[in-house]
Each structure stands twice: as structure tokens, then as C-alpha cells.
Amino acid sequence: MLLNTYHISWLSLSLAYILLAFPLYIFWKYKTGLVKETLISFARMTLQLALVGLYLGLIFNLNNVWINIGWVFIMIGVATITTTQRSGLKGRAFFVPVSLALLVSIVLIDTFFLGAILQLENFFEARYFIPITGMIIGNCMERNIIALNTFYDTLTKEYEVYQYYIANGASRQEALRPFISEAIQKSFNPLIANTAVIGLIALPGMMTGQILGGSAPGLAIKYQILLMLGIFTASLSTVYITLRSVTPHLISASGILLSKQQVSNKTVKQLSVYELHQELVSLSVGKQKVNTDPSFS
Amino acid sequence: MIVFNDVNISHENTPLLEGMSFRIKKGQKAVLKGRSGSGKSSIMKTILGFHLPQKGEIFIKDIALKAGNEKLIREFTSWVPQDIWTPLERVKDFLLYPFSFKINHHLYPDTKAIGEMLDQLMLPVSLLEKPVKQISGGEKQRIALCSSLLLKKDIILWDEPTSALDDYTKEHICSFIMQQPELTLLVSSHDAYWIEASDIIIKTEEYHVA
């Protein structure tokens, strides 16, 4: 493809930093205490993007299937660590369900997107596989952080409601349904609202980038629509799998809600294989967990 | 139906109640009386198996309460806490949610039964179509009481069921419950109506660890 985008020289790019002078002046004048933070975050942004530019340049040149797959695994790992840290639900017991949820969602959506719709000759073609997967992972992570935070916070605040349903005959998953509902509502409302106004008050980044890069607007829009659909479904799948599979680690067998500290201290060894297996079976069969475990509440 | 034999209960590792003994027979109505923080809610949660007693024995329908038995015991009970929250939108969905549980499917009430029960609790049927956000705390609690009665469990445990209601409504609900001979009831309440009408009064302060 012929790239007819105007070149930006390093010199003119550095001149663009002059733009920061105005916000910095206002921050300083009003003693907001934001000057230092702003300088640090823009320095970080520059460094990180420069590194990513180098990496991606290298990865795109090599365009090796295994390196591309490896890169996606690194992205999943970073997204998982960010999710567990920002939700405060750390520890290996959380790393496994969150990264699996991301992996399953990515495999599903990528297969559909790159395989069935774009029908790429090389499925792992770096130019498609990496940016598309990256954008999906980033969005899944955002949704998942909001969902996990809402889920745990509501459960802590309204634990008596969980007990209310348990005391009136609910299984664990039945009693958790209102909490999963709340978490899904809180995490998807912003995305739904955004989707409704896209193109009107915001031109999405990828579309803008493609148009600047020389694509016809018609094609850029098709990509954008595909991406929005992919992001939406992958996010829901990530959130759903995560919420369904973390519950055995949040609530003890006798029905006590564990604190974030206790949860973080749980290791994979302590994580009951039986419970995890039950959750996965109930997920795959699409049935409620039957009361085979006498001690569960 | 409910037997306590020299029971000690702790709350977050601090002893709360000691040496509790009482017996509630089938069809009897009992009230837990005592100031806030004297352990009324903890007693109910212990009966439901959310806490295990530190000492002593508890029998619910002749079944000993111990780890592993909670689920069995909860099949006979219905409990309504003081504050209830729900993300469900319509009042009707909130009322019927407990009937969506597998073990309660067969109890799903028809429109007539729901209407009659709402009437006894002095709630209009039109409330069912309202958004939950638009009804008051007292109405929400009575909707939960309605579900609880429609579940037709042997033992009903209600935590401060009428604290948000006016005297007229309190009296009506209380006398309706007292006229149900099959129902075994344990409520916690400050209200004179419950205290006067009950067969058994359990004063939690007598067992409270200061």
C-alpha cells in the first residue's frame, strides 16, 4: 500500500512539546500540584511509545508466527497483572482465572475476526494480528477491572443480601446472580453509551489512524465496526468467565466472604481443584452447579 | 422446631452471647427482644448456619446444626434481613427472584396467591409493576416478607420486620401472622405488638456478654 501520510521529523515532533507550556503554566499558577506529575507522565509516555515503536518495528520486520504469538501472551500477562493490581484482588489464585478469561476470549474473537471475516492468508500476520488483538485485550481489561471492582465492592457492602438468597434456598451461583448483574451493568453501561455516539462526538483512534495512513474512509469504517463488535463480545466473555470462575476464591466453603488480603494470600495449591473443576463444568454445560458439595453454602 | 442448649455465640472472635437455652415448638411464635448490638441478628445467622456456635447444641427440626448440615437446614427456613438491596429493576422481579432458585421452582406462586398475600401485608398489587428504585425501604422490606411467606417454609426468621412501618400496618401484619397455626416464627423486634402477641419472649440481654 502506498503511504502518502506526511512525514513528521524528530525536530518538529520535539517542537510539539511546546504545547505543554500552556497547561503547565495554568497548573503552576493555580498551585494544583500537577506540574511534576504531568512532566513525569509525558516523559513516560514518550519513552514507552518510543520503545513500542522500536519493538513493533522489529516484530513487524521479523513477522515470525511464534514471536507474534509470544507478544500476544506478553500482552495478556501485562493486562492480567494490571487487572489484579487495580482491583486489589492479587495473588496467583486470581492470575489464573483472569488470564484464562482473556485468553479464551481472544482466541474466540480472533478466530472470528481474522480467520472468518478477514480470511487472512497468514492468521498471525503481525500487521493485523498484533494491533487488533492488542486493542481487544486493552478494552477487555478496562471492562474487567470495573466489573471485578463492582462485584467485590457490592458483595462486601451487600453481603447480607447474598446470605438472604442463600437462606431462602439459592445455590451459590443463584445467590450471586444479582451481583454479577450489577457488575455487568456498571462495566458495560459506559461502553454502550460510547458505542451510541461514536462518529458523532468522537472519531475512534484506529479509524483516524487508518485514514491518516492512507486508507479510504469506507474501508476504515468497516474495520472500525468490526473492531467495535469484536471488543464488545470479547469484553463480555472476559468479564463473564472471570466473574464465574473467581467466586470460589472469594467465598469460603462455609459461606464467609474473604477479605482482599486473605484472597491475595491464597495460592494455586490451596485453590480447591474440585471447586475450580465444578465451576468449569457448570460453565461448559451451562447448568447450575448441583449440590454435590455438602459443605458449600 | 428450634432448640438451643446452652449455646455460646461469638461475633468476629469476640464472645457475644453465653449460655442460651430455649425451645420453640411447631407453630409457636417467638420474639427476640433486646437493644441494638445485643446479638439478635447473630442468633438468626447462627440458626441459618452462617456462624457456628462456640459451644452448645442447636437443633432445627431435630437436625443438629453443624458444619456440612447448613444446606439441609436452610431447606426448612426463610429469612428476611433488615436491609435489602437489589439491582433488579421491577418490584415483581424482586418478589419472584427466590422462586427462580432450583429448589423453589415448584413453589412458584400464581397471580391470585401473590395478590392475596400483598393484600395481607397491606400493599397494592399495582406496586408490582413499579421500578424498585421508586418504592420506599418499608415497602421493599414488605415485598421480601411477601416472598418469604409465599415460600411456605416451616420456619420463618424475620429481622426487625416492621420497624419502618406505621402502627396500623404493624398491628395488621402482626395479627395476620399470629393467625397462621402452621407457621413457626422467630422475629427480632422492639415493637410491643410482636412482644405482646408472642408465645415466647427471648431477652437477649440476659445472655449478653458485657
Low-confidence ranges of chain B (pLDDT < 50): none
Q: Look at chain B and report how many structural domains it folds into.
A: 2
Does residue B61 sit in the same domain as residue B92? Answer: no
Which residue of chain B is at minimal alpha-carbon distance from A161?
B84
pLDDT 10s digits, B27-61: 999 999 988 888 888 899 999 988 888 889 999 99
Does residue B107 sit in the same domain as residue B94? Answer: yes
Does residue B87 sit in the same domain as residue B144? Answer: yes
For position A137, what pLDDT does the model report? 95
Q: Interface pTM (ipTM) of the complex?
A: 0.88
Does residue B172 sit in the same domain as residue B147? Answer: no
CB contact under 8 A, A174 and B68: no
Does residue B145 sit in the same domain as residue B188? Answer: no
For position A255, what pLDDT does the model report? 67
Does residue B148 sit in the same domain as residue B159? Answer: no
DSSP string, A98-166: HHHHHHHHHHHHHIIIIIIIS--SSTT-HHHHHHHHHHHHHHHHHHHHHHHHHHHHHHHHTHHHHHHHH
Residue B108, phi-psi category: left (phi > 0), alpha (psi -120 to 50), beta (remainder): beta
How many whole angstroms separate alpha carbon B157 and alpha carbon B80? 7
Of B70, B77, B144, the CB nearest to A297: B70
| Domain range enclosing B141 | 83-152
**Residue where a domain terminates, one of B132, B152, B172:** B152
Q: Which CATH number belongs to the domain containing residue B170 in this structure?
A: 3.40.50.300
* Amino acid identity, position A39: L
For position A39, what pLDDT does the model report? 95
Does residue B122 sit in the same domain as residue B208? Answer: no
Distance from CA of B57 to the nearest CA of A (A): 18
Does residue B125 sit in the same domain as residue B144? Answer: yes
**Residue where a domain terminates, one of B152, B176, B201:** B152
Which residue of chain A is at minimal alpha-carbon distance from B147?
A168
* Amino acid identity, position B85: W
CB B193 within 8 A of CB B37: no
**Residue where a domain terminates, one of B130, B152, B174:** B152
Does residue B100 sit in the same domain as residue B3? Answer: no
Q: What is the pLDDT along chain A (297 residues), one digit of tens a residue?
A: 445 577 888 888 889 999 999 999 999 999 999 999 999 999 999 998 999 889 888 988 988 999 999 999 999 999 999 999 888 887 777 889 999 999 999 999 999 999 999 898 888 998 889 989 999 999 999 999 999 999 999 998 888 889 999 888 888 888 899 899 999 999 999 999 988 888 887 778 788 888 888 888 888 899 899 999 999 999 999 999 999 988 877 887 666 777 777 776 665 444 444 444 444 444 544 444 333 333 333
Does residue B144 sit in the same domain as residue B44? Answer: no
Mutation for testing the A interface, residue in B66, B73, B79, B146 having most A CBs under 10 Å? B79
For position A274, what pLDDT does the model report? 44
